[in-house]
Amino acid sequence: MKKFISIITLVLLIILISCTQKNNYMGYDHEIFTIQDTISNAITFERSFTDTIGIYSSNSVMLVGNFNGVKTRSLMRFGTLPDTAWLDSTFFESCEILFERESQLETDINVHAYKLLVDWSVASTTWDSIGTDNYEDFPTPVEFLSDADSFYIPFDSTIVEDWIINDTLNYGMLLDAPDAVDNFVEFYTFNSNDKGPKLRIVAIGNETGKKDTLLLGTTRDTFIGFDENMQKNYDPGKIIIANLPPSRLVMKVHVDSIYNQLGITLDQLKRYSINLAEVQIDSLIVENSYVDNDHISIIPYYVSDAQTDECMYISTTPTSYFIKSDSLSQITITPLLEGIIRGDLSNPYIALVSTHENKDYSFVEFKNNTPALRIIYTIPVLE
């Protein structure tokens, strides 16, 4: 009986304690604050630096001409020609090359075609590897005006016959626009859904008189470039992001400006959670631009070595866009800014890199003004 009374007493005691206990089992009842601020003078444009012009086999265009200080030439080769026996039974009625133009800047330009004297590959050919001794005029010079979106140019059939007979010396041709000053033309390559150059041969059988038309595409084509304005890394020059040559814009993050404008200390800022950080570039900062497809895709890279401008991609950094028609463009730098503030990334520099380097002439040039920094952050509970 006494045991039963003791159990009842214990149960009542537990109920009494539970009814009088506060509903705060752990932690604090502080409210979580998420705040949005726009900070001025926290990001400054520092300089641009230019990488070496590379060659990519996936290019959809060949470039010929000169724009923004960049000279370009294109290389192309028709490799799937008939064998020599085909020549014994036919004669040429006509021979032409079909070009399809992707775009063009300024006025139509004269293009000159040359016979290449050396072999070349898409993966490794550069401007310097094709010197003036490596190409020459055809027996009858080949010139044409890029005056239409799609056009045929007459081509000497003896050139094609020579390519067929001496197939091991068929290195193709070089397209140049030596008189181009500030204009260029883009032709599609064989990577562009069958829009690339075509060699159109109309031949007639010697005995049958039957007309045969061949339409042969290039087996390789690409462009090479040379930048007349190639700048040293620390020459301020133009503040620019460009696809060709691949130019990166370097910004500097002024962490002291951020915490001073927020009215806090650096230690406090380090404890804040940065939910979003955007560099805001308004149209007044844009000096000049030529943007294909109305935008440039941009990924911010961390400049890991400021002396050599060596860049490092942070996997969580998203792709942003400079939109030509927008009055304001936002470049997301959230993981980079967090790393710089907390000291995980020791240099305060971020490079804005185009995702389509060496693809076309797209570029955007900025005045050396300061863009705004928009941040959304959460203040820690125990602050």
* DSSP codes joined into one string, 147-171: -SSEEEEE--HHHHHHHHHTGGG--
Whether 44 is in a domain gets the answer: yes
Dist CA 14 CA 5 (whole Å): 14
Identify which has the larger pLDDT, 342 or 126: 342
Residues 172 and 146 in one domain: yes
pLDDT at 15: 42
Q: Is residue 18 scored above 60 in pLDDT?
A: no
Lowest mean pLDDT segment, chosen from 30-34, 115-119, 222-226, 333-337: 30-34
Whether 27 is in a domain gets the answer: no
Identify which has the larger pLDDT, 289 or 22: 289
Q: Do the Cβ atoms of 146 and 104 come closer than 8 Å? A: yes
Our separate counts of H helices and E strands in the chain read 6, 25
Whether 375 is in a domain gets the answer: yes
Q: Do the Cβ atoms of 141 and 188 come closer than 8 Å? A: no
325-381: pLDDT as tens digits:
888 899 999 999 999 999 999 999 999 999 888 777 788 999 888 999 999 999 987
Residues 134 and 208 in one domain: yes
Domain residue limits at 154: 61-227
Residues 144 and 275 in one domain: no
Question: Side-chain half-sphere of 157: how many Cα atoms within 13 Å?
Answer: 12
Q: Per-residue b/e over 217-251, b at no fewer than 16 CB within 10 Å?
A: bbebbbbbbbbeeebeeeeeebbbbbbbbbbbbbb
Lowest mean pLDDT segment, chosen from 31-35, 227-231, 289-293, 296-300: 227-231
pLDDT at 108: 82
Residues 6+ apart with CB under 8 A from 251: 43, 44, 45, 46, 279, 349, 350, 351, 352
Whether 28 is in a domain gets the answer: no
Whether 109 is in a domain gets the answer: yes
Residues 47 and 76 in one domain: no
Residues 86 and 44 in one domain: no
How many domains does the structure of the chain reveal? 2
pLDDT at 191: 87
Q: Is residue 233 scored above 80 in pLDDT?
A: no
Residues 220 and 275 in one domain: no
Q: Do the Cβ atoms of 244 and 63 come closer than 8 Å? A: yes
Tell me the chain's radius of gyration from C-alpha atoms.
Answer: 32
Whether 16 is in a domain gets the answer: no
* pLDDT range class, residue 25, cuts 50, 70, 90: very low
Q: Do the Cβ atoms of 194 and 95 come closer than 8 Å? A: no
Residues 271 and 206 in one domain: no
Whether 10 is in a domain gets the answer: no
CA distances from 168 to 85, 118, 140, 172 (A): 16, 11, 22, 11
Q: Is 108 helix (H, G, I), strand (E, B) or coil?
A: coil
Q: Is 244 helix (H, G, I), strand (E, B) or coil?
A: coil
Q: pTM to 2 decimals?
A: 0.69
Whether 290 is in a domain gets the answer: yes
